[in-house]
Structure formats: structure tokens, C-alpha cells
Amino acid sequence: MKPVRRQLQAGIAFFALLFTISISTLAFAADHSGTNLSSIKPIHSTNFGIDQTEIEAIKAQMQAAVDTDFLPGALLLVGNGEGVGVLETVGYEAKGDSTPVNKDTIFRIYSMTKPVVSVAAMILAEEGKLAVDDPVSKYIPEFANLQIINPETGAVSAARNTMTVRNLLTHESGLIQAIFSPDSELGKMYVRDLGGDMTAREFAAKIGAMPVYFEPGTSWHYGHSTDVLGAVVEVASGKTLDAFLKERIFDPLGMEETSFWVPKSKARRVAQPIHGEMTDNTIVRKMLSGGGGLNSTTEDYVRFAEMLLNGGEYRGHRIIKEATVDQMLVPHITADVSRGNFFYGNTGDWGLGFHLQPTTDDASGPFNFGWRGIGGTIFIVDRENDFYMIYMEQRRGGPRGAPFDNNAAQREVYAAMRN
């Protein structure tokens, strides 16, 4: 009778475990990604120090953002190499839609493209096809005669420093983006001269013939650095960016639904915002933007995040060496680099393609790493605490004061873990 009793007790415990996981874990089900097994294996949230009461409190905040029309729906996930302990969804894929947000909803991940392309560049560095300290002009000759624009007068003079691939990875290249410097002379030049659909290589050539905002290596400034890095990857690999990413990252990881455009047959699964305009990602364009062109699902991006958490390997598929991941996490905003335009001021740092944000009150670390997209998405990887987090929504502008967003996602997950 004792073995039977133990089996019965085990069965009761198992069903109790299933019951304690929120109903929104229906999002675990039904993989649309082809023949791959799902990347999402459910485990209990207490593996991360998060209990059901805390999950419900977080989900209530997420639901409030939907109920007050800040966004139609959102998803929050916390996992590690053992599985996924939190997968909460609220709302629908679009306003008035009947399809709930789920792990197969397709999101424009915008700048969460940058870490993917940064990993691609480091794959080539491992193979000796590029070096991070190579001049960008080795791959894009238009950068050979670099000039600096005076941000106050608009006067142009020859640059003293050489722009390197490392500068592209760290956003210390001098390349900016009009949206972050709309009133600068260079920002106005970008608006005037960088329009139209062109290939990544054509874009890099055009921006390479223009001046940069500051001497490479002297300041951090968000901008088109990773778009140019995408063109460098194309030249160094001899392949278009989409082909290289597919061959070396997406196929080995099983990221079957991550791409620069979405087939029209899958358009119904694309999340749409209430606020702000977003590109029609079913239209095929020449430009493969390494800085923000990818679309992906939570199912897919889990694979990329887990690979990074696991030191470059996912389920037996090694993408990059663990030593390379370590190299990408070395802080680069040294004392001689200006933080005047760094999004986090004096807090945190930047590696080769990732933010580095302290996870405690100690500014020197340990750090989590990752990045966010302007459409409201974010992912972070925390090796010290052995987890990754992904938050997905689609929102571009709109009213301030949302009850939940990507900043709140990170804050509330850490608070729940520490309680």
C-alpha cells in the first residue's frame, strides 16, 4: 500500500502544481513553429523565488495597461536552462481582435535585433573573418576619409581617430540617429539624405560618406552603428545579412519565425499597437536593418536568450564560445568616454552589443545584459541569478503613465524574486 500511497501523493502534488500555475499558461500550448519541439518547458515559478500571489499582482498591473487602452495585449516570461516558470499573457494581438497574445504572437522587436547582429559579428570574429579592432573602412571603404561635424556650428573637419568594428558594437562610433538628435545638423542631414529603400550595404556606403557626430571612441551615442555592423557582417561573410543569420543563428537554434519580414499568410498573428504607427512588416524591403529590422515570437526569442544564459550553447547547438560571451560583457564606457547621451546616465555600462545594468546597489556589478526595442519589448539575461526575462508588447508613443511597461517588467520581476 505504501508505494500506491506515494504514487497517489505524487499525483496530487503534480496536479496541485499544475493548478498553481496561472491560467495564462495556456500560452505554453500549440507550437506553430513547424517541426521543432517548443522551447518553453513549464516549471514552477518558485524555482525563481516567485510565488502565485506575486504573479497575480504582476498580472493585475499588466491587465490594467490593457484595460486603460495603453496597449491591446502583452506577455511576460521568466525562464532558465531548466524551463520557464512564469508565462503571463493579457489581452489580444490587436484592438478588437479575438486572438489572445501567446507565445507564437509575432512582434516587431526593433532594437532587440541589435544583440542578434552583434552575436553574428562575433561569430565571424571567432572564425578570423573580421577583428573587432579592424577599421570599418576595411569592409565599407566609404568610411576611409572620416570627418567630424561640429554640433554647434556645422563645420566639418578631418577625424583624428579611426572608426573600428568595436566602436560599432559599443555605440562609440560617432554615428547617431535622427530620432535621438532631431535638432542637430547631422540629424537633419540624416533625415534629408538617408531616405528611401536601399540595401544594408548601400545604406552603409551613404552614411559612411557623411560626417560623424564625434571622434570615434570618445562618447556613447545610440544610433545607426548596428545598421552599419550588419553591412560589415555581409561583407565579411560574403552573404546577405538574412542568409547569414538564418544559417548561423536561426536554423541552429530553431528560430523558424524570426525574420526581416513576415509572410502574408502569418499576418493575422502580428501584434498591432493602439498608439503609434508601426511598419507593415509583411512588405518585403531591400533594407535588412541590423539595427532594428527583425520580427520574432516569444517562442523563438527564448532560444536566443537561453543560448546566451548558457554561455553560447542551446540544446547541444553551440553558436559562440563561452569566452566570446564573456568578452561581449566587458564594460566599455571607460572614464575617458562621455556619458552625456548614455540612456542610463552614470548607472551601468555597455558591452559588445548589450546593455550592462547592475542588479544590486553596487554600480560595479554584477550586471544583467540584454536590450529593448522601441516598440515596447525587452529581454534581459542575468547569469548571476540564473534567469532570463522577456517582455513583449507593441506600443510606439501614446499617453504617458502606463500601469505596466518594459521598465516595470524588469523592476517587478526582481522585486518578486527578492521578497
Last residue in a domain, options 237, 264, 293: 237
Whether 284 and 221 share a structural domain: no
Structural domains counted in the chain: 2
Whether 167 and 310 share a structural domain: no
Whether 62 and 165 share a structural domain: no
Last residue in a domain, options 208, 237, 266: 237
Whether 178 and 275 share a structural domain: no
Q: Nearest-CA neighbor of 305 among 381, 377, 358?
A: 381
**Is 87 within 8 Å of 24 (Cβ atoms)?**
yes
Characterize the bridge pairing of strands 367-372 and 378-382: antiparallel
Whether 391 and 246 share a structural domain: yes
Cis omega (within 30 of 0) on the bond before 358?
no
Whether 271 and 322 share a structural domain: yes
| Cα–Cα distances in angstroms (integers) from residue 192 to residues 182, 231, 287, in the given order | 12, 21, 18
Whether 260 and 330 share a structural domain: yes
Whether 408 and 260 share a structural domain: yes
* Within-domain flag for 297: yes
* Within-domain flag for 21: no
Last residue in a domain, options 193, 221, 237: 237
pLDDT tens digits in sequence order for the chain, 419 residues long = 223 333 333 333 333 343 334 434 445 444 444 457 899 999 999 999 999 999 999 999 999 999 999 999 999 999 999 999 999 999 999 999 999 999 999 999 999 999 999 999 999 999 999 999 999 999 999 999 999 999 888 899 999 999 999 999 999 999 999 998 888 899 999 999 998 999 999 999 999 999 999 999 999 999 999 999 999 999 999 999 999 999 999 999 999 999 999 999 999 999 999 999 999 999 999 999 999 999 999 999 999 999 999 999 999 999 999 999 999 999 999 999 999 999 999 999 999 999 999 999 998 889 999 999 999 999 999 999 999 999 999 999 999 999 999 999 999 999 999 98
* Within-domain flag for 97: no
Whether 206 and 279 share a structural domain: no
Read off the pTM. Answer: 0.92
Supply angle C-alpha 309, 405, 361, rounded to 5: 60
Count of CB atoms within 10 A of residue 12's CB?
10
**Is 212 within 8 Å of 246 (Cβ atoms)?**
no
Whether 230 and 354 share a structural domain: no
CATH number assigned to the domain comprising residue 320 = 3.40.710.10
**Is 86 within 8 Å of 48 (Cβ atoms)?**
yes
Range of the domain at 49: 36-92+106-112+240-418
Query: How deeply is 336 buried, as exposed, middle or buried, from its count of CB atoms within 10 A (0-12, 13-18, 19+)?
Result: exposed
